[in-house]
Amino acid sequence: SSAVPLSEIEKNEEDWQLAQTYLNRFYKLKDSSAGFASKNRNYVSKSSLSNKIKKMQEFFGLEITGNLDSATMGIMEKPRCGVPDVAE
């Protein structure tokens, strides 16, 4: 097996960062369940992230995979309005 090139790891890391910021801003990412305790204020469980990705994919009529596929990243990178899609 060959090591994943550093640039790809960084790219993935970048995508996840962008996704977390995006989902936090527009899909209420932070898990508000009372028992949710985490050392790192920004820690978000993978399943919570995947659920929010599904919510976003459903909103935009994308294939609902819960993964950061290219179509999903493509939407996240588009210029847009700052109002949340899932309104509080």
Partner 1 sequence: YNHFPGTIKWKKDKITYRILNYTPDISSTDVDTAIWRALKIWSDITPLKFTRIFEGEADIMISFGAREHGDNYPFDGANGLLAHAFPPAAGIGGDTHFDEDETWTMGSNGYNLFLVAAHEFGHALGLAHSRDPGALMFPTYTFASVNEFRLSQDDVSGIQALYGASNEIKPNPRPQPPKTPEKCDPYLSFDAVAGLRGEMLFFKDRFFWRRHPQMPEAQLTLINSFWPKIPAKIDAAYENFERDFLVVIQGNKYWAVNGYDVMPGYPKNIRRFGIPSSVRKIDAAVHIRTTSKTLFFAGDQYWSFDETKRAMDEGYPHLITDDWPGIPARVDAAFEQHGYIYFFRGPAQFLYNIREQRVLQIDRINQWVGC
CB 51, CB 64: distance < 8 Å:
no
Q: Of 19, 23, 26, 44, which lies in the binding site for partner 1, with binding defined by CB under 8 A?
A: 26
Q: Of 17, 43, 63, 73, which lies in the binding site for partner 1, with binding defined by CB under 8 A?
A: 63
| Cβ contacts of 9 within 8 Å, gap of 6 or more | none
Q: Does 68 bind partner 1 (CB under 8 A)?
A: no
CB 53, CB 67: distance < 8 Å:
yes
Q: Of 15, 24, 60, 66, which lies in the binding site for partner 1, with binding defined by CB under 8 A?
A: 60
Instruction: Point out which residues bind partner 1 (CB under 8 A).
Output: 26, 59-63, 71, 75, 78-85, 87-88
